[in-house]
A and B are shown apart, each in its own frame.
Chain A
Amino acid sequence: MRALWAIWRKELKSYFSTPLAYIILAAFLFFTGFFFYNILSYFSLACIQSVQIAQMYRRMPQPMNVNVWVVQPFFYNLAVISLFLIPLVTMRSFSEEKRLGTLELLITSPITNTSLIAAKFLSAYTMFLVMLAFTFIYQLILILLGKPDILPILSGYLGFALMGAVFVALGLFISALTENQILSAIISFALLLVLWVVNWASIVSGGWIATTLDYLSLSSHLTRFIRGVIDTSGIIYFLSFTALGLFLTGQAVESWRWRG
């Protein structure tokens, strides 16, 4: 256990001792801020228009839902931004250790592969949670200025935290396959993107194919969480994809060992 946390600490330190973590965080805050500002501005514009229209027809203005207009679209934008940035967080995890030769050192230390992978996962996931925590600022702004429903926001974050685990686990897997960080980032991004958009094909296909594609897609599960539905099939989906990613990571590390 101590070795696990030692690796976790070392990983986080190495994120923050290189410019990488700061660049990722800066990019993340810039894009989330940019999208939040735009979504919010669009919402307030829509509110003003709604009031003007109501005055024109001498009626009470229609109530406008902050959750539908701001929170939900913001979550979707957040997901797409994460899709780009999480592969940058996970890309060096195993690739760098392979390149430096330090993976040999880690494997020949008295630590099981399971703890090693757990440590790697937890450190990258911590990084993700730090990124996610920054977005609370935007929710705080909404709460101070309006009256959003809190519960769907919380369930959205739960879904997001679960989906982040899938992003990180699959990213680690790809990182364990190659010594090249750039390659690792690109392939992880492509893989996540496929999982994100795969349900689009369900619109044009029908029957069991559509159901399967829908089930496989990250976005269709996240949608339910964002709308305030905590559904077990979603939780199972996210957790099993995370487990699959970590299992494959273990296999990749093991096969690398066998090939020597």
Chain B
Amino acid sequence: MIEVDGLTKRYGPVVAIDHINFTVKEGEIVGFLGPNGAGKTTTMRILTTFIPPSEGKAYVAGYDVVEEPLSVRKQIGYVPENPPLYSDMKVLDYLKFMGELRQVPKKSLQEGIDYVVDKCKLGDVIHKQIGHLSKGYRQRVGVAQALLHNPKILILDEPTIGLDPKQVVEVRKLIRELGRDHTIMLSTHILPEVSVTCDRVLIIHKGKIIAEDTPEELAKKLKGTHTLRITLGGDNPETMKKELENFTEVKSVRIFNEGISKGTTFLVETEKDVDIRADLSRFIIFRKWDLYELTPVGVSLEEVFLHLITMEEGVEQ
């Protein structure tokens, strides 16, 4: 449904996202987790064709976001971080307008409105002016407008930000429900949110995706191991993988992010309290491989997690 390949966005000298790759399969709910400023919104804005990427490709429902933006826009429902609402409009008028804007056929528009009003529980406020609604209701109106044309893909940017704990729980429930009929990509900076709502998590930090797994696996991994990210060149990736696996103290090796500009990236897992960086670098030089990168991922992942875990307090699950 969504394919991203080497996507990069620069704002002048600032790199907002840096050669990221990921895919989202049909029917998945994927959480995009990262601290503020990690590049979540930028990525989502590129996927919704709002801003063009500086480099790389992104396909949504098979359409290129740069080449065929109009086709992409028809397939997605997008809720930006602050739901874009006209405060002087009534909810019903707003939904009608959005339906027309999305070119929902006249016949099915009423159906679509009934559906989203029911799904998002807007029955009580349908004739109220949007400006007078509470934050929770506004968020739901925001989600409702994104569902009107029954899009294949829903993109939600921080859907629970600024809501009170009760509303947060409601919105998460709504997302789970919608996940049955739509492919959903949501961003958040709150760790528990992804474990409640998502099938899979992408962790983004400083514009790079540093981990990708199910919420459970991710949590398990963090506890017992320590991961090194190594980018090597100069030999066959499979051979290098085997040799790395045979290296002392290494528990497992995975090839990650194939097809980046130079070399191959490996994720090398070791026991938590062992540091093999010095030995490993000597080994790499001894084998005459090209070393492009050697980063202890585990540490920064933990940093990110620590950051994320401490964010959410007071929300009861």
Contacts and interface: CB of A to CB of B under 8 A. Distances in A.
Interface of A: 2-3, 5-7, 9-10, 13-14, 17-18, 100-112, 257-260
Interface in B87-126: 87-89, 93, 97-98, 100-103
A100 B87 contact: yes
Contacts of A112: 70
Contacts, number: 77
A7 B78 contact: no
**SS class of chain A's interface: helix, strand, loop or mixed?**
helix
Query: For this complex, into which size category does the number of interface residues on chain B fall?
Result: 20 to 34
A38 B100 CA distance: 48
B86 A107 contact: no
A110 B84 contact: no
A104 B155 CA distance: 13
15 contacts: A3-B100, A6-B97, A9-B97, A10-B97, A17-B88, A100-B86, A101-B83, A102-B85, A103-B84, A104-B50, A109-B98, A109-B101, A112-B70, A257-B50, A260-B9
Contact of B88 (A14, A105, A110): A14
Nearest to A107: B50
Contact of A101 (B84, B93, B145): B84
A58 B50 CA distance: 79
A2 B89 CA distance: 20
B88 to A, nearest CB: 6
B82 interface: yes
A68 to B, nearest CB: 46
A106 B98 CA distance: 9
B11 interface: yes
A104 B89 CA distance: 18
Contacts of A101: 80, 82-84
Nearest to A119: B101
Interface string B45-66: 1001111100000000000000
B197 interface: no
Contacts of A107: 49-50
Contact of A257 (B51, B93, B98, B100): B51
A14 B97 CA distance: 12
Q: Which of A9, A104, A108 has the most chain B CB atoms inside 10 A of its CB?
A: A108
A105 to B, nearest CB: 4
Interface in B1-42: 9, 11, 42
A101 B41 CA distance: 14
B89 A14 contact: yes
B135 interface: no
